Amino acid sequence: MSTDHQKAEVRKIQFSGKSSYMLALPKKWVQEMGLGAGDAVGVEKQGDSSLIITPRVGKVFSKADAVLEVSSKSKTDSIIRRLISVYLLGYSTMQVRAKEGPLTATQRDAVKEAARRHLIGTEIIADSREGITLQVLLSYPELSVKNVLKRMFLIAESMHRDAIKALEKFDKDTAGAVTRSDDEVDRFSLYAIRQLNMAAQNDYIMREIELKTRRDCLDYRLIVKAVERVADHANKIAEGVMNLDGPVEPALVDRIMKMSEYAVGLFEQAGLALFKGDYESADQAVEEAKEAARMQEELLKMIEKEKAGDSSQVLPLVVEDIRRTAEYAADIAEIVINMNTEAIIRTEEGALVRAV
């Protein structure tokens, strides 16, 4: 007998007397789902013999309320790290409370700022000297992982293009705006990871956010982090522009812009392949990403030859950031390939055959 069958809870079917049958649901499961008498559940047939029972559509599951007790000596960075960890675990209500006496003004301000800057869908519902209570008001279907990722791709792409435009025009105001956009990507990243953590533990949530298997949770988490890193590299390019004392030679800028367009084009291609489930496009992106290393090598030689003051220190780092963008695009594309392998396999006379 398999391990799964040994763990299964056996229940007897009862005849209702009205030409139908009844099966009692486990009390523990009903309580965990927040259900009660009169609530509706969905029953869906899977394959030839299995049924899936899920709570009614729109039901939102969250863990019990979390309380973080802090002392007057607790550092704000430590408090924020703990708050973000609780948010990522899926708690819907989070209370930051003083162990003794009131929270300090610095601690209260730090918690409020963290909620505003980092925790999407979170509102402060109680605020006093003794503690602050935050609640996540967004339900899972309202902002799915796929929709979050689409926004992250768009913001990261825009950041990269703006950073290169700032380099071209020597525009430090534009460069400064890019660094501020990085916070937005980080906020979406935390929210997506929160959803994926919950989905990995709850099949209902997994279906609510339009994922098929728990493996999808891992794949999407890797993609979220890759997009976040692309945004980080765009931010580094912008910081490099901020450190320049003057405009870069037009010939150098032109070559950097060409490499940038190549890298961000691959990033766009990987994103489209993800949302369309396009195996072939993803495979092409992985192959084309190899060109970025050659372009980097040529640019570094050109920069070394020019020896253009402070540019000779900043530009190699900018070129490295562009190459890393291409590499992360390839990483995303490889994950897309793994997610869509079945698209290149067909069943022929009972055997799996690679369709190429």
The domain that contains 104 carries what CATH number? Answer: 3.30.110.10
Residue 202 burial by CB count (10 A; 0-12/13-18/19+): exposed, middle or buried? middle
Task: Answer whether 309's CB lies under 8 Å from 249's CB.
Answer: no
Asked if residue 28 and residue 154 are part of one domain, the reply reads no
Asked if residue 319 and residue 206 are part of one domain, the reply reads yes
Asked if residue 218 and residue 95 are part of one domain, the reply reads no
Q: What is the pLDDT of residues 143-195, one digit of tens each?
A: 788 899 999 999 999 999 999 999 999 999 999 999 888 989 999 999 999 99
Among 99, 101, 89, 45, CA closest to 65: 89
Tell me phi and psi for residue 171, to 5 degrees.
Answer: -110, 100
Model confidence at 36, in pLDDT bands (50, 70, 90)? confident
Looking at the predicted structure, is the pLDDT value of residue 2 above 90?
no
Asked if residue 231 and residue 285 are part of one domain, the reply reads yes
Model confidence at 343, in pLDDT bands (50, 70, 90)? low
pTM, to two decimals: 0.79
Averaged pLDDT, 285-301:
94
Among 215, 339, 226, 224, CA closest to 279: 339
Domain membership of residue 351 (yes or no) is no
Model confidence at 315, in pLDDT bands (50, 70, 90)? very high
Q: What is the pLDDT of residue 18?
A: 67
Tell me phi and psi for residue 338, to 5 degrees.
Answer: -65, -35
Domain membership of residue 185 (yes or no) is yes
- Domain closes at, from 136, 170, 191: 136
Looking at the predicted structure, is the pLDDT value of residue 242 above 60?
yes
Asked if residue 183 and residue 93 are part of one domain, the reply reads no
Among 28, 33, 31, CA closest to 204: 33
261-271 core/surface letters (b: 16 or more CB in 10 A; e: else)? ebbbebbebbb
Domain membership of residue 107 (yes or no) is yes
Model confidence at 309, in pLDDT bands (50, 70, 90)? low
Measured in whole angstroms, how far is the alpha carbon of residue 51 from the centre of its chain?
Answer: 31
Domain membership of residue 318 (yes or no) is yes
Q: What is the pLDDT of residue 203?
A: 77
Asked if residue 179 and residue 100 are part of one domain, the reply reads no
* Mean pLDDT of the chain, nearest integer: 85
Asked if residue 322 and residue 290 are part of one domain, the reply reads yes
Looking at the predicted structure, is the pLDDT value of residue 348 above 70?
no
- Rounded CA-CA distance 69/51 in Å is 43
Asked if residue 237 and residue 268 are part of one domain, the reply reads yes
Asked if residue 23 and residue 145 are part of one domain, the reply reads no
Number of domains into which the chain is organized: 3
Looking at the predicted structure, is the pLDDT value of residue 198 above 90?
no
- Rounded CA-CA distance 343/126 in Å is 50
Domain membership of residue 355 (yes or no) is no
Range of the domain at 85: 66-136
